Structure 1
């Protein structure tokens, strides 16, 4: 498995992913022209010289090394809410103060807001059903944080993830089923397409700016506020282990939660370390070299438009020399030569003793997932 930036030749595979992912997977809609523009934007973003996050969108694909098939996608939006509004509901506790203090009561409301403008967003993670195997989902998810550690100037200080909310097998959202009777009598798919395609005035026209009180909702609608789709639960747990937390902001259409974390505090950002690639011809580690085997780690080159990464247990960290040893075959897949700059992220965060020694002057770059957000 190799992670690489998406290319124009991946359009057919990306369209198939958009179709397979179904309603609610809002970052990839099944529109061939829109997906083609998304690919072009990504290619341009990787090629830019960047000193500050802007409208860049980085889309990666996971490729089967043996067959060349595209297994899945994952992406990063450098500064969400800049080119078009990023709008959420904020959950609020409203205290009513009648004349009699003993009759004061608290109830919950949802208020439309734009809070996360300019934050970096991780998105577009999808692993195709036929390719769900050990570590594939972890690679798709955590490689984005490794990329942020390598290129911090390209991203904002706060990173968010909008999680897919609850919907049934037919793609209907209990939250939207209630909300549509008060705002716009559209089916969930139509509302999603209008919102995600940035149709002029859709949110301002149909989503009220005045508070919505949860006591007025159906039991089914209120129960899913801040909850995630069944297929998204492992992804949420993974992000929470990385340090992400829900701060009360939910999606306008399905009520799914948005999680956030300072970029410098994301565990995988902190645990990504630079190393020097050392190659050997044998498939197995030469016994004389010593070092610590990476039971499972993401290993990558340090490029941008030529970025390549994989997950492997065939790499050995040599703390004494600040290097990571790998086979010449693995290095070829990652476009690495002997002595090239590489980076390593152990999948087990607890294995700090196995990390590569930092280069002089270099600070640490600061349940299997199905598909998620």
Structure 2
């Protein structure tokens, strides 16, 4: 059984192993032991109530309950940009007009922005390629939203997710080569690594503060604005299915899109409800797949399953109840894993 749980210090080596598989452009899981250890400590401090709001964050791991192997990671930052600026580009428009010359031109433009300061952020989503099956990616991504639904008071009203932008197999970014390199004079992979380990001051020091015209970029760079890396497309589709949308903001390095939403408008937040646990050795699975999580903040657990669920109760097997650390009569939070349209597609593929 696959289970979501909070990160622990013992997970460090497993996460370092995952970091070797992410590739260039995945800044939030750098292959840096000291940086990762510090982040794990910050997450633990958050759960223990020791971290100030600007340091608060949550990391969850996906674990195979039988082998105890950690095969995925996902995270949420509580409030970004409160201690150091949070940069992105806002894709806007400048108009150049002259009645005398009968000229009216709309120019797409990039404006350096800190507009997402204070937002919560979905981040650090990575699943071992060998486990990209059996809805593991959906569990890894959406369990964060179920957690946010259970503990809404701990997060901001608005939420973003930065998507990894386009780069080739050698880690070269067309957007970086057309724009960033002119100001930083370093390779994309080096800039990517520096931001991943927290050295972001050079962005403020070197990035121009005036608007930049998109038409001055190469055709290759323009083509990847707000596009995602091919490996990130499934993650984008998952977030969009939950109500997150591209609203005109992109990463300043690789031009990957930023998705955003009001936290309360996420589908899982809207549709999740509590049910009493009924433990049974035998039950008949339903067609609908449910996301199921306990209400234990410090020892959070989440799984997926095709559980019988009434208006008041949900049936769990003894093994599921043990994984979730719940007993008969306990309350847990449940939500459909998929939106109704996605569920219909899932059924049609299995019929």
Note if contact 2:42-2:55 (Cα within 8 Å) is conserved in structure 1.
no
Give the Å deviation of 1:99.
4.8
Quote the residue 1:340 is aligned against: 330
- Confirm or deny that 1:126 pairs with 2:126: yes
CA RMSD of aligned residues (A): 1.9
Greater shift, 235-244 or 224-233, is seen at: 235-244
Range moving further from structure 2, 144-153 or 191-200? 191-200
Retained in 2: the 8 A contact 1:84–1:198?
no
Q: Distance in 2 between matches of 1:119 and 1:236?
A: 19
For residue 349 of structure 2, what is the aligned residue in structure 1? none
- Alpha-carbon deviation of 1:336? 0.8
Aligned residues of 1:53 and 1:155 also touching (Cα < 8 A): no
Structure 1 alignment gaps of length 5 or more: 286-291, 352-366, 369-373
SS in structure 1 at match of 2:183: coil
Partner of 2:292: 299
Contact persistence 1:194–1:202 (CA under 8 A): no
SS at match of 1:293: coil
Distance between the aligned counterparts of 1:279 and 1:35, measured in 2?
38
Q: Residue 350 of structure 1 aligns with which residue?
A: 340
Correspondence for 2:157: 157
2:318 is the alignment partner of 1:328: yes
TM-score (norm 2): 0.93
Question: In the alignment, does 2:71 pair up with 1:67?
Answer: no
Per-residue deviation, 1:298: 1.1
1:200 and 1:10 mapped to 2: Cα distance? 26
Matching of residue 318 in structure 1 with residue 310 in structure 2: yes
Q: Which runs of 5+ in 2 are unaligned?
A: 347-351
- TM-fit CA distance, 1:53: 5.6
SS of the residue corresponding to residue 299 of structure 1 reads: strand
Aligned to 1:228: 228
Equivalent position SS for 1:311: strand
Moved more, 6-15 or 297-306: 297-306
| Whole-angstrom distance in 1 between the partners of 2:184 and 2:86 | 19
Q: CA deviation at 1:75?
A: 0.5
**Structure-to-structure mapping, 1:19-38, within 5 angstroms:** 19-38=20-39
Aligned to 2:137: 137
| Matches of 1:200 and 1:27, distance apart in 2 | 13
SS state at 1:81 partner: coil
State the partner residue of 2:40. Answer: 39
Deviates more, 1:257-266 or 1:78-87: 78-87
Aligned residues: 342
- 8 Å Cα contact 1:96-1:105 kept in structure 2: yes
1:188-207 map, 5 Å: 188-199=188-199, 201-207=201-207
DSSP 3-state at the match of 1:182: helix
Contact 1:175/1:221 (8 A) holds in 2: yes
Query: Which residue does the alignment assign to 1:259?
Result: 259
C-alpha contact 1:53 1:156 (8 A) present in aligned 2 = no
Greater Cα offset, 251-260 or 13-22: 13-22
Q: Distance in 2 between matches of 1:85 and 1:181?
A: 21
- SS of the residue 1:176 aligns to: helix
In the TM superposition, structure 1's runs of 4+ consecutive aligned residues that sit over 3 Å from their partners are: none
Using the size of structure 1 for normalisation, the TM-score is 0.87
Check the 8 A contact 1:195/1:202 in 2, yes or no: no
Instruction: Tell me, yes or no, if the aligned pair for 2:32 and 2:197 is still in contact at 8 Å.
Output: no
Aligned: 1:284 with 2:283: yes
Give the conservation status (yes or no) of the 8 Å contact 2:85–2:117.
yes
Following superposition, the deviation at residue 345 of structure 1 comes to 1.3
List per-residue Cα deviations over 1:188-234 (Å, max 9, x = no partner). Answer: 11111223333263112221111111111111111111111111112
Q: Can you list the C-alpha shifts for 1:297-344, whole angstroms capped at 9, x where unaligned?
A: 11111111200111112x21121xx11111112100111111112111
Q: Post-superposition shift, 1:89? A: 0.7
Q: Shift in Å at residue 101 of structure 1? A: 5.7
